[in-house]
Amino acid sequence: MSSSSQPAKQVDVLLATYNGEKYLLEQIDSILKQNYHGKINLIIRDDASTDNTLNILKALSNDSRLKIIKDQYEGLGVALNFKELMKYSESDYIFFSDQDDIWLADKISKMVLLADQFFDSARPSLVYSNALVVNSELKSKNKSTYSNKKINTSLSTLLFFNGGFQGCSMLINRSLKEMALAYNGYWFMHDQVVSFIASCFGDIIYIPEKLLLYRQHENNVLGHSAKSFRQIVFSKKDQNYILDNRSINFIKDFQTCFFDQLSSKNKNEINGFFDYINSNNLIKSIYLILKNKFSLRGNIIALIIKTILYKK
């Protein structure tokens, strides 16, 4: 635990942009107006936008708090855009930022406080918070990205998550960043990569307080993650499958890359996961769920029902 007499740590906020002209200035403003007493470095990389995003960033380029990355890569997609951004981070703590949300003024200070109190710098760890879901005009939709129930951060839950904990609500430490950059397999989503690493090798802290406004609009890459039991099982979006093949491909590469470092428990869970994926026997699939305590968003019954309805 750090002493209160120590100066506040410098933090890096990684902002990946792509055709974000509509909301970008609001998001940048909310980051730069944080009440955090340490230095905030806002590192931005654009992924070949075709709208006015680059002109907006150019107009801000004289602000010493901003570092705008220019390189030869184009069309990387969200995950690899953030991977490139991580290469430019040198601070102990790193935040991921979407281009269209609003951060509440104490987001950084509250998350850094917890990280200072509970992180071991040698362990790849993350803090993530709840968020209020709002519409394009920032009006509340009376939803949050996570429930206030205890969040299950085990690998057995993440295996069926089709992603990771919400990247825009995260703080990760330098150890986690370095381990993520050492992973040379397939990246589906950046937050999935760091979530798996933290779950297997470090610590995860959840803050139930809503520390950002998570804006939902027609151009979101992914929607908000909080769902009712009925939505988890019967969502039209997921009716034809339980897991996204891109997520399965990531888990294969994760297993290969980190196999020698995984605990016996984690190895068994991943092996059980692939036994489930490859099984054409419904009884065996349900047995594997129960044996390994697999779940959909922490709900074992939801995964069993969805397996009965949709496993192909």
Last residue within a domain, chosen from 157, 185, 215: 215
Q: Answer yes or no: do 36 and 74 share one domain.
A: yes
Tally of domains within the chain? 2
pLDDT at residue 128, as a whole number: 97
Residue 1 belongs to some domain of the structure: no
Cross-strand pairs, 144: 132
Q: Answer yes or no: do 109 and 155 share one domain.
A: yes
pLDDT at residue 232, as a whole number: 52
Residue 295 belongs to some domain of the structure: yes
Q: Answer yes or no: do 122 and 90 share one domain.
A: yes
Last residue within a domain, chosen from 183, 215, 247: 215
List the CATH number of the domain containing 207. 3.90.550.10
Report d(CA 145, CA 98) in Å as an integer.
15
Residue 2 belongs to some domain of the structure: no
Q: Answer yes or no: do 267 and 181 share one domain.
A: no
Residue 55 belongs to some domain of the structure: yes
pLDDT at residue 239, as a whole number: 43
Note whether 11 and 40 are within 8 A (CB).
yes
How far, rounded to the nearest angstrom, does the alpha carbon of residue 136 sit from its chain's CA centroid?
21
pLDDT tens digits, the chain, 312 residues: what are they?
Answer: 444 567 899 999 999 999 999 999 999 999 999 999 999 999 999 999 999 999 999 999 999 999 999 999 999 999 999 999 999 999 999 999 999 999 999 999 999 999 999 999 999 999 999 999 999 999 999 999 987 666 789 999 999 988 999 999 999 999 999 999 999 999 999 999 999 999 999 999 999 999 999 999 665 555 444 455 555 555 544 445 789 999 999 999 999 999 999 999 999 999 999 999 999 999 999 999 999 999 988 899 999 999 999 876
Cα distances (Å, whole numbers) of residue 123 to 42, 181, 204: 24, 15, 10
Residue 170 belongs to some domain of the structure: yes
Residue 221 belongs to some domain of the structure: no
Structural domain of residue 296, as residue ranges?
Answer: 229-310
Q: Answer yes or no: do 62 and 21 share one domain.
A: yes
Question: 237-258: b or e for each residue (b if 16 or more CB lie within 10 Å)?
Answer: ebeeebbeeebbebbbbbbebb
Note whether 206 and 128 are within 8 A (CB).
yes
- Give residue-wise pLDDT tens across range 244-289: 999 999 999 999 999 999 999 999 999 999 999 999 999 999 999 9
Contacts of 38 (CB under 8 A, 6+ apart): 7, 8, 9, 10, 11, 112
Question: Does the predicted TM-score (pTM) go above 0.85?
Answer: yes
Q: Answer yes or no: do 264 and 297 share one domain.
A: yes
Q: Answer yes or no: do 202 and 85 share one domain.
A: yes
Residue 224 belongs to some domain of the structure: no
pLDDT at residue 312, as a whole number: 60
Q: Per the structure block, which two tokens stand in for 114?
A: 């917890």
Q: Per the structure block, which two tokens stand in for 35?
A: 């009440």
In SS3 terms, 199-233 reads as HHHCCEEEEEEEEEEEECCCCCCCCCCCCCHHHHH
Q: Per the structure block, which two tokens stand in for 175?
A: 């150890």
Residue type for position 33: K
DSSP track, the chain: ---TTSPPPPEEEEEEESS-TTTHHHHHHHHHT---SS-EEEEEEE----SSHHHHHHHTTT-TTEEEE--S-----HHHHHHHHHTT--SSEEEEE-SS-EE-TTHHHHHHHHHHHH--TTS--EEEEEEEEE-TT--EEEEESS-SSPPP-SHHHHTTSSS-S-GGGEEEEHHHHHHHHH--S--S-HHHHHHHHHHHHS-EEEEEEEEEEEE--TT-SS------HHHHHH-GGGTT-SS-HHHHHHHHHHHHHHGGGS-HHHHHHHHHHHHHHH---HHHHHHHHHHHT--BTTBHHHHHHHHHHH--
Last residue within a domain, chosen from 215, 242, 276: 215
Q: Answer yes or no: do 261 and 205 share one domain.
A: no
pLDDT at residue 242, as a whole number: 86
Cα distances (Å, whole numbers) of residue 34 to 4, 13, 236: 19, 12, 39
Q: Answer yes or no: do 187 and 236 share one domain.
A: no
